[in-house]
Amino acid sequence: MAEHVDPYLSTEQIAVEVARMGGEIRDRFDGDQPLVLICVLKGSIVFFADLLRQLHVPTHVAFLGVASYEGTHSTGAVRLTHDLGMDIGGRDCIIVEDIVDTGLTMSYLLENLKSRRPRTLRVCTLLHKPEREQVKVPMDFVGFTIDDHFVVGYGLDYEQRYRDLDHIGVLRFTD
Ligand code: IMP
């Protein structure tokens, strides 16, 4: 089966939205310790790096690896593949995700991270696909609400490919 990518969100659209989100996070930040920005590997890496540079508040970065997806279908089972490597007890934290789809990954992350007793724990996602929601998760900062498409680029992959695209496209399969 042949596959191709149709343009969906341009580099410019994404940049405008990321700057807006950075401003929103900055306005809500009131802690006296650096904000802990948690990058959910691997799909969020590009968004994370851009968002970090739009914040202009003191930050510490941390990385969390999770796996749940095979191909274009969620397996439903979420597991940790890499842990934070820092204590977030008493800290103001933001989970930075590329996309909230079924919500299973985010709900797992929230439960896991809340048990470590951060002072605050907020959720920031570039994309939200409400049609596919299986679990409701609180989202504090959302970039784009999108229809039920499988999207790639700007860090998001299909079988580890397309992360390097500077825009976001919809993956299509043809015979
Ligand atoms: P959820 O657990 O179903 O909400 O899915 C979360 C994870 O699935 C995301 O962090 C992505 O890694 C992956 N994912 C969900 N939808 C897409 C998509 O459209 N393109 C690429 N990856 C996706």
Residue 1 has pLDDT above 60, yes or no: yes
User: Which amino acid, residue 86?
Assistant: M
Given ligand 1 and candidates 98, 125, 149, which is best to mutate, with the most ligand atoms within 8 Å of its CB? 98
Q: How far is the CA of 33 from the centre of ligand 1 (A)?
A: 31
Q: Is the pLDDT of residue 4 over 80?
A: yes
pLDDT of residue 42: 94
| Cβ partners under 8 Å of residue 158, min gap 6 | 3, 71, 72, 150, 152, 171
Distance CA 114, CA 80 (A): 15
Amino acid (one-letter) located at 28: R
Give the pLDDT confidence score for residue 72 in this predicted structure: 59
Query: Among 6, 101, 148, 164, which one carries the catalytic annotation?
Result: 101
Mean pLDDT, residues 10-23 taken together: 98
Q: Per this entry, what is the length of the chain?
A: 175
Which atom number of ligand 1 is nearest to the Cα of residue 105?
A: 2
Model pLDDT, residue 30: 86
Confidence of residue 76 (pLDDT cuts 50, 70, 90): low
Ligand 1 site-directed mutation target among 156, 165, 173, most atoms within 8 Å of CB: 156
Report the alpha-carbon distance of residue 152 to residue 80 in Å, rounded: 22
Q: How far is the CA of 21 from the centre of ligand 1 (A)?
A: 20
Annotation says 6 is catalytic:
no
**Cis amide leading into 42 (omega within 30):** yes
In the prediction, which pLDDT does 26 show?
96
Is 48 or 72 the better-scoring residue by pLDDT?
48
Q: Give residue-wise pLDDT tens across range 88-120.
A: 999 999 999 999 999 999 999 999 999 999 999
Q: Which atom in ligand 1 lies closest to the alpha carbon of residue 129?
A: 16
Q: What is the mean pLDDT of the chain?
A: 94
pLDDT at residue 75 in the model: 60
**How far are the Cα atoms of 49, 150, 164 from residue 160, in angstroms, in the given order?**
19, 14, 10
User: What is the percent of the chain with per-residue pLDDT over 70, rounded to a whole number?
Assistant: 95
Q: Which atom of ligand 1 is nearest to the CA of 149?
A: 19
In Å, the largest CA–CA distance within the chain is 57
pLDDT value at residue 67: 83
The alpha carbon of 158 and the centre of ligand 1 are apart by a number of angstroms equal to: 10
